[in-house]
Chains A and B, each alone.
Chain A
């Protein structure tokens, strides 16, 4: 007669109970110390590329760019409209088509 396989949950619990007793090795302390010492003595990044990336890494840069672009578009539209009104050929066309001016 063939035994039925044990319940997966029971097997899992059994494995867990045994595995919890597993004590692993401790990492090599000297190697860890060497690794952090290399980071500590590594020079901080310098140069225009670092400055450039630092400039654009802060949060408000993108909203500020968007606001600047919107302000520029507004100013340009206003200037274009102003010029459009004062151009003489616009008045000529306007009178030719029976405008009010």
Chain B
């Protein structure tokens, strides 16, 4: 088991980094992914390569993280009555290439305003290069549904860009 973790730690971290902004969240998601791996290992049938199966678990972990964020945000809005009580912004981990990191963070912030499924879809499709068919299979959608979600998400993004541009 330890060998599996050692072998796939970097790949899982790389994928999950697309979903988070901070190192703390990355650590949480990576550990969650490996815990799911341990629990799901008896069900792995070997029909697909292990790395592929594990990255699928990781992408599900990422989507669940997006869903939890929405719930947490809603809860914060409902319980926060004083404007000054807003939660502290997350500390952003400085990266090796500041321009890339800044662009990645800008994208994560923009995508953070989309519904979790659309956010996960665009993250995997645009940043990780997964095909829509792969994503549809991963999340149990039809390809048409995935295309529709992608189209809706892009439309929402355009609206967000316009909102950000307007004074």
Give the interface of A toward B (CB within 8 A).
5, 8-9, 11-12, 15-16, 18-29, 31-33, 35-37, 39-40
B1 at the interface (CB under 8 A from A): yes
Known contacts A31-B31, A39-B38, A40-B38; decide if A25 and B158 are in contact (CB<8 Å). no
Give 10 A-B pairs besides A18-B99, A25-B26, A27-B27 with Cβ atoms closer than 8 angstroms.
A8-B157, A15-B103, A21-B97, A22-B101, A24-B95, A26-B13, A27-B13, A27-B31, A36-B2, A39-B39
Question: B2 touches which one: A8, A23, A25, A33 (CB < 8 A)?
Answer: A33
Give the interface of B toward A (CB within 8 A).
1-2, 5-6, 9-10, 12-14, 16-18, 23, 26-27, 30-31, 34-35, 37-39, 93, 95-97, 99-104, 106-107, 126-127, 157-158, 161-162, 165
Query: What are 30 sample pairs from A and B whose C-beta atoms fall under 8 A apart?
Result: A8-B162, A12-B161, A16-B126, A16-B127, A18-B99, A18-B104, A19-B104, A21-B97, A22-B101, A23-B14, A23-B95, A23-B97, A24-B14, A24-B18, A25-B26, A25-B93, A26-B13, A27-B16, A27-B31, A29-B6, A32-B5, A32-B34, A33-B2, A33-B6, A35-B31, A36-B2, A36-B34, A36-B35, A36-B37, A39-B39
Write the nearest CB–CB distance from A23 to chain B, whole angstroms: 6
Question: B26 touches which one: A12, A16, A27, A29 (CB < 8 A)?
Answer: A27
Q: Assess whether A33 is in contact with B5, with CB atoms less than 8 Å apart.
A: yes
Q: How far is the CA of A51 from the CA of B95 in the complex (A)?
A: 50
Q: How many A-B residue pairs have CB under 8 A?
A: 98
- Taking CB atoms, residues of chain A closer than 8 Å to B103 are 15-16, 18-19, 22
Known contacts A8-B161, A24-B17, A28-B27; decide if A19 and B35 are in contact (CB<8 Å). no
- Taking CB atoms, residues of chain A closer than 8 Å to B157 are 8, 12
Q: Is the interface of A mostly helix, strand, loop or mixed?
A: helix
Q: How far is the CA of A27 from the CA of B157 in the complex (A)?
A: 30
Q: Assess whether A32 is in contact with B104, with CB atoms less than 8 Å apart.
A: no
Q: Assess whether B31 is in contact with A22, with CB atoms less than 8 Å apart.
A: no
Q: How far is the CA of A72 from the CA of B6 in the complex (A)?
A: 58
Question: A15 touches which one: B93, B96, B107, B165 (CB < 8 A)?
Answer: B107
- Taking CB atoms, residues of chain A closer than 8 Å to B99 are 18
Q: Assess whether A32 is in contact with B1, with CB atoms less than 8 Å apart.
A: no
Q: How far is the CA of A9 from the CA of B151 in the complex (A)?
A: 13
- Taking CB atoms, residues of chain B closer than 8 Å to A40 are 1, 38
Write the nearest CB–CB distance from A3 to chain B, whole angstroms: 11
